[in-house]
Amino acid sequence: MSKDANVILEVKNLKKYFKVGNKDILKAVDDVSFFIREGETLGLVGESGCGKTTCGRTVIGMYDKSGGEVFYKGKSVHGLSRKDKKAFTKEVQIIFQDPYASLNPRMTVADIIAEGIDIHGLAKNKKDREERIYKALDQVGLNREHANRFVHEFSGGQRQRIGIARALAVEPKFILCDEPISALDVSIQAQVANLLIKLQKELGLTYLFIAHDLSMVKHISDRVAVMYLGSMAELAESEELYNNPKHPYTKALMSAIPIADPDVEESRERIMLSGDVPSPINTPIGCKFQGRCDKCMEICRKEVPEFKEVEKNHFVACHLY
Ligand code: SF4
């Protein structure tokens, strides 16, 4: 996969398997490769159960890997020395999907935000700690008066802002955004997405942004990767992927996004995906999408399609290309 000197994170043939029962293997992440440049957002999309969250969490070392490699700034994430691990856990943060479950209801907002500050010993003294908390609150559009309240006093959107402030408080470089807007009201989703875009510009952050909502991913991402059943189906720059999807699965996902222009909306082709996502246990030989693909050929049932560059910066895993 072509890349350049600005790459901050590189994932090479990553695998994450889970044992299920006595002999079955669940291949949640199955030979996935991609890279992320410093300061960019890579969107990672797919239906629920496709392995995107497991992939994101394995990438940042929350889970051990079953195979392959992940490099952050050239160092193997799963083989960091104690010193490098400390720096890594400060630089790499996560924003969770569910702000209700990810914030401790018994802690004040200030203590939640200060957790990372305390763990990494960033504050010089009490005053500095307080300033850092206030700064994080300011950055996410909350008031300093919110610092001594508890999370149950806040709305869903505000709670997610607290989650973002907690991540920002340690001055990270890379944030895994694990479906950070999926649990929010539609009216609030754009506000939080716009806040993340603004923070990225101001602070030079890099995001791996996981979502199942393709329209929001387009809004926030420079490039988008589409996962299906633990594998990469397609990866391209945002505009290119949305204007020129190549993989039959991506085309089907795209065709389900509503278009504002009623004439275009009425005349365009809708591709219905038949059936549910199959189980990631005992996946078929060949292409994993074969059972739902209306373009399936003989070779698709025999050989796994290689994930390869079919146009400049446009990667697809499909025997049609
Ligand atoms: Fe469809 Fe074959 Fe392409 Fe898989 S490899 S998406 S089955 S055409």
| Cα-to-centroid distance, 19 and ligand 1 (Å) | 28
Residue 270 phi, psi (nearest 5) = -100, 130
Task: Report yes or no on 33 lying in a domain.
Answer: yes
Q: What is the pLDDT of residue 71?
A: 98
Check pocket membership of 305 for ligand 1, CB cut-off 6 A: yes
Domain assignment of residue 1, yes or no? no
pLDDT at site 117: 96
Which of ligand 1's atoms lies nearest the C-alpha of 293? 1
Nearest CA, atom 5, ligand 1: 318
Which of 283, 290, 303, 307 is the pocket-test mutation for ligand 1 (most atoms within 8 Å of CB)? Answer: 290
pLDDT of 264 reads 62
Q: Which two tokens stand for residue 273?
A: 């995906």
Task: Tell me, yes or no, whether 2 lies in a domain.
Answer: no
DSSP state of 195: H
Is residue 283 situated within a structural domain?
A: yes
Q: Which long-range contacts (CB under 8 A, 24 or more apart) does 140-148 make?
A: 140/164, 140/165, 140/168, 140/195, 140/199, 141/195, 142/109, 146/109, 147/108, 147/109, 147/110, 147/113, 148/108, 148/109, 148/110
Range of the domain at 38: 7-317
Which of 227, 296, 321 gets mutated to test ligand 1 (max ligand atoms within 8 A of its CB)? 296
Spatial distance between the Cα atoms of 31 and 14, rounded to a whole number of angstroms: 5
Average pLDDT, 10 consecutive residues per value, the chain (321 residues): 79 95 90 97 92 96 97 96 94 89 91 95 95 97 94 93 96 96 88 96 97 86 96 96 95 79 65 72 89 93 96 96 94
Establish whether residue 289 lines the binding site of ligand 1, counting it when its CB lies within 6 angstroms of any ligand atom.
yes
- The identity of residue 65, as a single letter, is K
Which strands form 7-20's sheet, in the order they lie side by side? Answer: 24-37, 7-20, 67-72, 75-76
Number of structural domains in the chain? 1
200 is a domain residue? yes
What CATH number is associated with residue 234?
3.40.50.300
Tell which residue, 261, 189, 67, 2, has the closest CA to residue 197: 189
